Each structure stands twice: as C-alpha cells, then as structure tokens.
Amino acid sequence: MEKVGIIGIGATKFGELWKQSLRDLLAESQLKAIEDAKISEKDIDLIFTGNMCSGDFSGQNHLGSMASEILNLNVPSIRVEAACASGSVALRQGMQAIRGGEADIVLVNGVEKMTDVQTRQATTGLMGAGDEEWEGFNGLTFCGLYAMMARAYMHKYRLTREQLALVSVKNHKHATYNPIAHYHNEITVDQVLNSSIIADPLTLLDCSPITDGSASVVLAREDIARKFESPIWILGSGQANDTLSLHARKSLTEIPASTHAAQRALMQAKLGIDKVNVTEVHDCFSIAEVMAIEDLGLIPRGEAGRIMEEGQTYFDGKVPVNSCGGLKACGHPIGATGIKQVWEIVKQLRNEAGKRQIGKANIGLTHNVGGTGSTVVVNVFGRDRENKGY
C-alpha cells in the first residue's frame, strides 16, 4: 500500500478568539500549512475540512466552498462531519483520495468557532454527537455521560479522585510549553478538586474548554513527498465505530472502538504499540485520557492511577501523553482537534516541539474520539516510511 506523506502543517492560536471569524481561522491555518510545505495553492488537487457545528454556532454551513474560495481554487472541496472525530475522518478521506489516485496533493483542515454562542447553546450543539432520542432528550450532557464512566471506572479499579485530577495537572503543565495552547497556567490537584462540580465526580477543571481554533495539514503522494526535506509518513490509519448511545454498551469502563481502531492502524503500520514514542489522546474529560491509554494498550487495565502518580505520562516520562496540553489545556475546538493532534505529532517527529520535545521521537500516534466512543480514529506516523530502526 502506497504511503502518504505530510509535507506541511499549520495551526492558529487556540482560545477565545473574539476578533477572528470562522473564515479568518480557516484562512490562517490553510495559508500556514501551504507556506510550511513551500508549495503553491495551485498545487492542491482536493480539500477536506472537518467541522461539527458551524451551522449551529456560526450560522455557516457549506465550508467546502469557503475553504476553496479562500485559496481562489475551483478544486473539489468537501466538509466532513463525524462529531469530535471530524478532523481525523477528514484526514482519512484525504489519505484515501491519494491512495485511490484521485489526487496527488490534498489539503486537510479542521476548524471550529465555538465562543460566539452561550454555554447552553454550545452544550446543546455538542450533544448532537450523542443519542438525541435516548440521551439528549432526557437531559443528559457529555459531562454527565463521562461522569458515569468515571464513577464506573473508579469503582471497578479503585481509582482515587486525586489520581484522576493528575490528568488535568499534567496537561496544564505541558500547555505552558505550547505557544498555541488555550491555557498557559499550571494547576494543582487541590484546584481541580475544589473547582465547581459540573457532573459528579467531574469538576470544571476535569473538562476541556469551549475553544476557537483551526489546524491544517498538506498530504502528498509518496513519490512527491519524497522530494521534500523532512516529510512525516502516515504509516497506518484505523477507524472503528460503536453504538451512538452509551447505555447500549457492554461496559462503561472502556471504549472498544479505540482498541479496534488502534489494532487496525498498528497492523497497517506493522508495528506494536511498544514502538510508539509519543501519543496524543482524546482527553475531552480527564477520565477519557485514563481509559484511552488503557484501550490503546499503552498500559495494563486498571493501572492508570499508579502510572499517573509516578509521572510516567509527562513529556519526559516513560509513556508521554498529550505533550501539547491535550484537549484539556490546549483546547478543544471540535472539528480542529484531530488535525491539531497531527500538528503536534509532526512537530515532535521533526524535533520542533521546543521545551516540550520528547527525546527519540520516531513514531507518533493520534487517538480522536467522536461522542462517547461512537467513532474513533487512530493514526500512526513515522519519520521513516519503511519503519527502519524502530
């Protein structure tokens, strides 16, 4: 199977960006990625843009046309929606278009403008990623759904509330080293525990914020990518889906789609999870990171609490996770998150991550979740297209 290379990346600042519109954000990340790739916009054959709620939050649908208009192009340009996994599904579409001979160079974006609406409207829009008939109609929110998962996990594996809070503490620390992050302040376990309860046991500082932002990557066919100085290769990509509703699952303490997607991606890459040096997981809530690192096989089931206490998931630890600050501290502009994760992995593999740089970063993995695990995409990336020496 032909490898696909990443030859350019770009991202806006993440945060409450009052002075920038949805169009402004998308334009900025697209132009940065094209500039980073050192290509002309006319070299692009196809555009995919991941987005979930632009119609609800900005009154703007038809982002495919917006993305191509910004670049003054007439190439096919398509919006992709898969809840919080929209960016990663867009990436898969771009990769498959190249592998299928549809395009030589593809621009993939993820964008979301979330802060122009009230919190209630944002919460309602986001709940569209769940089951409206059985969950949303009955008053459930994603905070509530993940709180149930947290309670079940804490009971089964004896995870303490303090151990769970360490996820947010670590991710805020990482974000202080990331210039595009929404937050640049460190926090303590006590601050997490004493912040406002959103859905017991989750407090405000267990939850990712409402964020604006955009990220873009340029993909190229293998023979084209090899002409560039330091392409990063997509070694494997897997997607898996599960029930839309949480109540239909067999377990509340794991997300099977994460495991299935990871197995497919790693099999395609011909690598074991032990070869991954840097991982970006979908920590929409602190419990989500706990389950993710176990679902992916990075650590044994039920060991997350101990691993957190030992500091193994810090960027300089044995199992580096969310070196950019994750969704919790870098921010979670829904459609942009999956592409921002790729942006961070490329930075790490290029040795361009600055103070948060992970040593010997040769293989990276991204894990992007839609809903409570209804759609999961896992991608594996490497500096060497043949995986030599790993």
pLDDT tens, residue by residue, 357-369: 999 899 999 999 9
For the stretch 179-188, pLDDT in tens is 999 999 999 9
Q: Is 84 a catalytic residue?
A: yes
pLDDT at site 360:
87
Find the catalytic residue in 53, 84, 284, 330.
84
Domains 4-118+212-225 and 139-209+235-382 share a fold: yes
Find the catalytic residue in 182, 282, 332, 367.
332
pLDDT at site 389:
43
Residue 385 has pLDDT above 70, yes or no: no
The residue to which tokens 């030599």 are assigned: 388
Q: Is 284 a catalytic residue?
A: no
For the stretch 151-181, pLDDT in tens is 999 999 999 999 999 999 999 999 999 999 9
Pick the CATH number of 139-209+235-382 from 3.10.20.740, 1.10.3130.10, 3.40.47.10, 3.30.1330.90: 3.40.47.10
Pick the CATH number of 4-118+212-225 from 1.10.1790.20, 2.30.110.10, 3.20.20.70, 3.40.47.10: 3.40.47.10
Name the amino acid, one letter, at 231. Answer: P
Among residues 268, 203, 217, 198, which one has the least CA distance to residue 238? 268
Sign of CA dihedral 143, 145, 150, 155: positive
The residue to which tokens 């990436």 are assigned: 91
Residue ranges per structural domain of the chain: 4-118+212-225, 139-209+235-382
Q: How confident is the prediction for the chain on average, in pLDDT?
A: 96
